[in-house]
Amino acid sequence: MGSLAETAVRPVAPPGPGQPPGFPFRGPGLLARVVPFAVVAVLAEVSLALPPGVQSQPATIVSIVLLLAAAGLFALPWRRLPSWATVLIPLTYTGSVLALILAGGNTSGVGIVILAPLVWAALFHQRWESACVVVAIVAAEVVASLVPTAAADSVIARRVLLWAAQGTMISVATHGLRDRIAQSQWESAQLQEQLRELTVQQDRDRIAAGLQHEVIQRIFAAGLAMQSAASLSSQPSVRQRVEAAAGDLDQVLRLLRDTVFGLEQRLRDRGLRREILELCGGISAAPEVSFSGPLDGALHPGTGTWLVQLLREALVVIGPDAIPASVGVTTDDKACLTVIEATARPHAAGLDWAARKHDGLVEQAARAGGSIDIEPIPGGVRYALRLPLDGTAPLGPGRLS
C-alpha cells in the first residue's frame, strides 16, 4: 500500500475542464484511491467471523448488500447525473457500516470503521458532502447505541485488526496528501520561475523596441552627422576629435546591443534560483523558499557555487534533528544572506542548539569568506549563512563527514 501514496490523494473541487464528472469515481488514479478503503471494508465484514460471532444475521446481510451497492455505484453514468449524486456512495457506505455494527453488537469493535466514509468524504468531496456524512454518522451512532452489547472481553482480536487497518488506511491517505502538497509546491515554484523568465523576456523585447525607436536611431543619426561635420573641417585636430566622438557613439551602440541581447543568453543559463529550488524541492516535506533582491548574475560564480554547496550541507546537518520549514535568500549590494528556519523533531525538542558542534559547516563557510550563525528559536533552530558577493575562494571538498 505504500506505493499508492504517490497518487492516492487529490483534494477535489467541482469538476474542472480536465476533470471528468463523478470524480473521484472516474479518472486517473481511481484504483489507488479506492484500494485502501476497500481493504478496510472487506476486513470489517470478515471480522464478524471472530468471537463472539454474528449477533444479527439479517443485519449482516444488509451490511453486505449495502457494501456491494456502494461498489456498484462506481459504475453509474456520472456524466449524465447531477453533481450532488456523488454523495450517495459515502452515505451508502455509512449505512453498510451501521448495519455491520448492528450485526456485531455495539461493543463488537467494528464501530471504528465508521470513520472510513468520513475520511473518504473529507479527502475527495466538497464541504457540504462531508457535512451530510457527519450527520449520517451521528444518526448511525444513535441507532447503534440502542442495540444490545457484546461481551467486551471477547472482541480484542477484532478491535486490534480493525484499528490496525483503519490506522493504516488513514496513514496511507495522509502521506499521499502530503506528497501531493509537496509536489504542488514544487510545481508552483517552477511556474513562478517560468513566469519570472517570461517577464524578463518581455521586458527585454520592450526595452529593445524602445531603444530601437527612440535611442539607437538618434545615436546613429548623431554619429553620421558628426562624421559629415568632420569631413567639412579643414583642421586635422578638430577632425580627429569629431571622428573620435563618432567612434565613441558607435561603441555606445554596440554596448546597448550587447546589454539587451545578453539578457537572452542569461535566460538560457541554469541560474542559482533554479538550483536552490531543485535542492529544496527534493526534501520531504519541501520547505517554503523565498528570494529577495537580485541573485542570478549578481553573485560571483565562485560565491554562487559556495552558496549551493553550503546550503546542501546545512540541510544535511539539520536533517536528523529538525525539519526545514523555510529557506530565505536575501541579496543586497554587499552580501548574500541565506536564512534557514527549521522545526525541531520531537526527540530533539530539548536539544541545546547553541552547544552543538557544527565545526565542519562553520569551517566550510569560513573557507568561502563568509560566516554562519546558528541559534535556537521557539520550537526549532535558525541557520543564518552570509557570503560576500565577490567571493573567489576555491570550491572545497564534497559532503561533510
- Whether residue 96 contacts residue 63, with contact meaning beta carbons closer than 8 Å, is answered with yes
Statement to judge: residues 259 and 303 lie in one domain: no
Q: Which amino acid is located at 75 in the chain?
A: A
Statement to judge: residues 171 and 59 lie in one domain: yes
The confidence score (pLDDT) of residue 397 equals 43
The confidence score (pLDDT) of residue 399 equals 42
- What is the three-class DSSP state of 329? strand
Weakly modelled stretches of the chain, pLDDT under 50: 1-20, 264-269, 393, 395-401
The confidence score (pLDDT) of residue 63 equals 92
Mark which of 129, 159, 188 sits at the end of a domain: 188
What are the grid coordinates assigned to 365, written together? 563557510
CA dist 228 and 226 (Å) reads 5
What order do you get walking across the sheet with 380-388 strand by strand? 288-292, 322-331, 335-344, 380-388, 371-377
Domain presence at residue 399: no
How many domains does the structure of the chain reveal?
3
* DSSP of 89-122: HHHHHHHHHHHHHHHH-TTSS-GGGGHHHHHHHH
What are the grid coordinates assigned to 50, written together? 471472530
Q: Which residues pair with residue 326 across a beta bridge?
A: 288, 341
The confidence score (pLDDT) of residue 318 equals 79
Identify which of 363, 358, 366 has the alpha carbon closest to the alpha carbon of residue 386: 366
Statement to judge: residues 332 and 228 lie in one domain: no
The confidence score (pLDDT) of residue 93 equals 92
The confidence score (pLDDT) of residue 227 equals 76
The boundaries of the domain holding residue 342 are 272-388
Q: Which amino acid is located at 151 in the chain?
A: A
Instruction: Tell me the pLDDT tens digit for each residue of 242-256.
Output: 888 877 777 777 766
CA dist 126 and 27 (Å) reads 17
Domain presence at residue 29: yes
- What is the three-class DSSP state of 155? coil
The confidence score (pLDDT) of residue 154 equals 58
Statement to judge: residues 248 and 277 lie in one domain: no
Statement to judge: residues 50 and 101 lie in one domain: yes
Domain presence at residue 121: yes
The confidence score (pLDDT) of residue 79 equals 80
Domain presence at residue 178: yes
Q: Output the CA torsion 119→124→127→132 (10° steps).
A: -60
Q: Which residues pair with residue 339 across a beta bridge?
A: 328, 384
Q: Which amino acid is located at 374 in the chain?
A: I
Statement to judge: residues 146 and 295 lie in one domain: no
The confidence score (pLDDT) of residue 62 equals 93
The confidence score (pLDDT) of residue 71 equals 92
- Whether residue 362 contacts residue 272, with contact meaning beta carbons closer than 8 Å, is answered with no
Statement to judge: residues 252 and 122 lie in one domain: no
Mean pLDDT taken over the chain = 76
Q: Output the CA torsion 131→133→134→138 (10° steps).
A: 140
Domain presence at residue 397: no
- Whether residue 385 contacts residue 338, with contact meaning beta carbons closer than 8 Å, is answered with yes
The confidence score (pLDDT) of residue 357 equals 59
Mark which of 208, 242, 268 sits at the end of a domain: 268
The confidence score (pLDDT) of residue 11 equals 37
CATH of the domain at 298: 3.30.565.10
The confidence score (pLDDT) of residue 213 equals 64
**β-pairing verdict for 380-388 and 371-377:** antiparallel
